[in-house]
Structure 1
Amino acid sequence: MKDKHRPLIAPALLGLLLLAALALAGLPAGVARSEGAAPAITPVSFGYLPFVRALAPTQTPSNAAALLTITPNAAINASTFNSGSFIVENQSLSGQRLTQLRIDLGTAILPDVVFDPHGKAGDTVAKDVARDQESGMSLSGWSYEVAHDGGYEVLLLRFGGFDRGDRFKFSVDIDPTSIQGVGAPGPAESGSVGGLELVGATVTATFSDGATLTNQVYRRPDAGAGSGAVVALRAGAPELPVIAIPGITAPMTVSAPNQTVRVTGPAGRSVVVLVVEGGLFTEGLPDDGFDLDPFEANSALIAREYTAVVGSGEAVDVPILLSRSMAEGGINTITAVFEDSDGLKGLVAAPLVLELE
């Protein structure tokens, strides 16, 4: 089994230590300043505390729609290798059948993660697509595209008879290429990749009426200390946010944990800023890791979220906290997503990486 607990300090304990540090420093949690508007204090989730938002968009879809959930209710070291890790649902209202689903890992926040059906890209344990549950539909076939270091960036699933209310559960091996050639599950279980590490992956659904919908994976609001992620494929999703860190050109190594993210977008739009501390684990790897890049992480450790509302100046400055919870960690990936009043999230901002000394 690839899904085992890391031999590391529990993320929940790390979270409590971070909260305590904030309290001792007298720092307010989740203060967001809207440019052109009065400062506002908004809630913040550190990845191990409840963060109350809709699990899926509450508005009824008007036409073609689908939902993909990844490693729900699983620990932060979840693995897509395990049965039922992906759940595909057709939520269309006008009789459209879901005919194809394309999952592209090339845009995920964790770099160099690939589908590894043959055990050549990551650790030596492999798993091709497994049909774990077909409810009312059938998987007619699948294929891989965009070869990458022994694996593939893209998985294309083809369906038959996939009507509204039908559901398909499947699993498949995904690994970071940095651990190529090592035994499963890799150092510190870095070969166990879950939904959190796939935030930003691009998913495209094709329907029987010719409709095509594209969106990107984002963390589930109920993920807590876990790895759950979801992408809602519907028309009218919010636009792409643009993020920057004033005075800093990422990627960069920094010494100060307190930073500010500037989010640019339409005034009044709600935004969630996500900070994921990652680590690069290389112990026991051939040649100390395969094709490593500066600021590369191969496992997620802690997730923190901050919410804000874009001000009248079409930007908002969001204070964030970077972390380095262990020697191999400190690689903080920062991204953001807009959310509408019904809980529908859109495309994920191009990530920025800051490594905390």
Structure 2
Amino acid sequence: MASTTVAVLFGGRSSEHSISSATAGGVLGAIDRDRFRVIPVGITRDGVFVLEQDDPSRFALDAAKLPEVTDNGTRVLWPTSGGDRMLRVRREDGTVDELGEVDVVLPILHGVHGEDGTMQGFLDILELPYAGGGVLDSAMCMDKHFMKIALQAEGLAVAPWVTVRAARWAADPEGVRAEVEALGYPVFVKPARAGSSVGVSKAHDASELDAAMALALAEDDKVLVEVGIIGREIEVALLEGRDGGPARASLPGEIVLTTREFYDFEGKYLGGDGAEVVCPAALTEDETARIRETGRRAFEAVDGRGLARVDVFLTAAGDVVINELNTMPGFTPISMYPKCWIASGMTYAELITELIELGLARAA
């Protein structure tokens, strides 16, 4: 019989709601049922906690109709801090049922109100153990501006950038244009606090900057404009070390672009042509070692907990330049993060188990 009860938490209020839901489909289908009893808790786009069906097929990744959590009338009632860990549900008819005591929460949430430290703080207040990143690393890596500052302080290379807030863009667009011109085109324009390439575009010259800013500002009121680094797009998966040991880095993978200019939302999740995930990447032993070490240093620079995916550029000169860290990276079965660990000798199910056990060990 399964001895550990896991609340799998997914959906959420961010623009990455559907990707989180698709991740839940993968996790629900692969989690070790002999070891873990699962309570699936969905969060609607309006932020309502509902008891979801334990049915992986309901959340399959389908480009024609992305999965989502809908309001089914139930309401999940979280335990109060200092008491038991009993999770309850209020049904549509008003009756309340006990779902069992939760041993650990597995939040597979992307974006704001989930990957930004807010959910982690909520669970800390409730004194519920959880897997994945903590408050600090989640909040820092969600905001690409502060993430870059932390990485630079550690002596790690990042793409040159300028941060533009909505008020500045409205009041001094010519000043912003001059700063971007000084960076040098082409540039990538991206929301500071979003993921899955939502709101990201490439401006090849000044004539495309305004449209790129409008797209990014529709997602966030703080935007990063980054130099377009020319190099191979390499990603490495990180796991927190066991028993206080150093972080573990997977074999790196590579995003190989053919007809697509960058690895956008369609290329990542909707089966769009022009981008391919290759893992392990075709690298020399020295390149592999340096990229893995860069990943470990980046993870430690942000006080990483649980997991992260570190995305870098490998330039023709051999430099490793960090693009960003993701504390809850894409975790669907086709995503780079699990693929990197699978290439390193770990199955998808074993990876889920490892994350849960890391969360339990931290709480202990």
Q: TM over 0.5: same fold? A: no
| Higher helix fraction (1 or 2) | 2
| Higher strand fraction (1 or 2) | 1
Higher relative contact order (CA 8 A, sep 6+): 1
